[in-house]
Amino acid sequence: MFYRENGQFKSSYGSDQQMLPILQDRAFMFGLLAFAFLVVPFVVRDYVFLSLLIPFLILAVAALGLNLLVGYCGQISLGHAAFMAVGAYAAYNLVLRVPQLNFLVVLVLAGLIAAAVGVLFGIPSLRIKGLYLGVATLAAQFFMDWVFARVKWFTNYAHSGSVQTAPLELFGWTVDSPVEKYLFLLCVLIVFTIVANNLVRGHIGRAWMATRDMDVAAEVIGIRPVYAKLTAFAISSFYVGVAGALWGFVHLGSWEPLAFNLTLSLNLLFMVIIGGLGSLLGSYFGAAFIVVLPIVLNQVPAWLGVPISTAMASHLEFMIFGALIVFFLIVEPHGLARLWAIGKEKMRLWPFPH
């Protein structure tokens, strides 16, 4: 009853093609943003920022990126954390060796470097697809793991192989308190979401989806597979590279090469699967799910009064992750985004059942 598009006529193609054509969606989004910017910073405790919101915001950027590649363009990548590593180490080296650079510029450059590496490892997608491509992307994962662990230049010849970062500075404003980090990341995420939305609505988004759905037909109607696939790899790696830089600088502060290992790659993939392939909203859901789950799992034994060691907790986490993936694939292969869409449909019809 409340969520109806009745009476919302569009008199130009421009307004028909806009990001949020339905009034109720616009209102909701406005309210959400107001809440995020004006209420949350005052109401939420530091602990929640550090363990929930900050990782969520960064991983949402990464999930958006991976979703563009896997969900919209249909190219599978099992090693995407490798590009996060590229972004992180690129940012580290830029800050270290060119300290005059504004951090925003560093982020963009790190993203571009990650994009270049992504295109390189994306070249196999021109010849192979599906699971074969997945194995090829594993090469990226293990190779980059090795590069950052062994080529000492990247870690500035640190003995332990791990690197440390100083709090970042933007136009004189030091971003080191949890609230400040949260606000900064929120802005970054909003920008990246708008860009992703624009790309998906543009001809490049259609090229991606056409390549995903029927690549031979796409080629016949004049869409270049090289263009579609490599831009998908490039842009997706850009997103993930920036996310990696943010992960290292804003969230972790210091990291070793194994911080961007296969497990993280698989986690990214799970985010987009559980959240919903081919849906930007799904990336958000997936990232939230992956961030919240370990915390919930850590609390549950305490609530139940059963003490378990952290090692055991992490094993249980793995188990439940795995079981949930299978569960989701059986019950709703299109992920949480589809459940949300079904919910909206029900809202449209409420109070009628159908």
Partner 1 sequence: MGDGKNGRAQRIGEVILALKGVSLAFGGVKALSDVSFDVREHEVRAIIGPNGAGKSSMLNVINGVYHPQQGTIRYLGREYHDMDPHEVAVSGISRTFQSLALFKGMSVLDNIMAGRNLKMRSGVLMQALRIGPALREEIQHREAVERIIDFLEIQAYRKTPVGRLPYGLQKRVDLARALAMEPRVLLLDEPMAGMNMEEKQDMCRFILDVNDQFGTTIVLIEHDMSVVMDISDRVVVLDYGAKIGDGTPDEVRANQAVIDAYLGVSH
Partner 2 sequence: MKNMIGKEGPFLALCAVLLIGLVLPLATGASAPGFYVEVLLGGLMAGVLYSLVALGFALIFKASGVFNFAQGAMVLFAALAVARVAERIPLWAAIVVGIGIMIALAWLIERLVLRPLVNQEPIALFMATLGLTFFLDGFGQTVWGSDIYKIELGIAKEPVMVLQSIFQGGILVNKEDFMAALVAAALVASLALFFQKTSTGRALRAVADDHQAAQSIGIPLNRMWVIVWSVAGIVALVAGVIWGSKLGVQFSLSLVALKALPVVILGGFTSVPGAIVGGLIIGVGEKMAEVFLGPPLVKAFDLAGGGIENWFAFMLALMFLLVRPQGLFGEKHIDRV
Task: State in angstroms the smallest separation of the CB of 246 from partner 2.
Answer: 26
Pairwise CA distance, residues 140 & 146, whole Å: 10
From 8-16, 86-94, 239-247, 282-290, give the range in contact with partner 1 by CB under 8 A. Answer: 8-16
Binding residues among 186-215 for partner 1 as defined by CB under 8 A: 195, 198-199, 201-204, 206-207, 209-210, 212-214
Q: Which does 210 bind (CB under 5 to 8 A by kind): partner 1, partner 2, none?
A: partner 1
Q: Which does 218 bind (CB under 5 to 8 A by kind): partner 2, partner 1, none?
A: partner 1
Among 6, 9, 11, 14, binds partner 1 (CB under 8 A): 14
Amino acid at position 298, single letter: N
Q: Which residue has the tokens 């270290």?
A: 96
Binding residues among 75-134 for partner 1 as defined by CB under 8 A: none
**Whether the bond into 351 is cis, omega within 30 of 0:** yes
Pairwise CA distance, residues 23 & 40, whole Å: 24
DSSP state of 3: S
The answer to whether residue 243 forms part of the interface with partner 1 (CB under 8 A) is: no
Pairwise CA distance, residues 144 & 127, whole Å: 22
- Give residues with Cβ within 8 angstroms of 29, minimum separation 6: 20
Binding residues among 35-64 for partner 1 as defined by CB under 8 A: none
Binding residues among 254-313 for partner 1 as defined by CB under 8 A: 278
Pairwise CA distance, residues 184 & 192, whole Å: 13
Interacting residues with partner 2 (CB under 8 A): 76, 123-124, 127-128, 130-132, 134-136, 138-139, 142-143, 145-146, 149-152, 161, 216-217, 220, 262, 266, 269-270, 273, 311-312, 315-326, 329-330, 333
Helix axes 178-201, 225-246, angle to 10 degrees: 170
Q: Which residue has the tokens 């919910």?
A: 343
Q: Which residues bind partner 1 (CB under 8 A)?
A: 12-14, 17, 195, 198-199, 201-204, 206-207, 209-210, 212-214, 216-224, 231, 235, 278
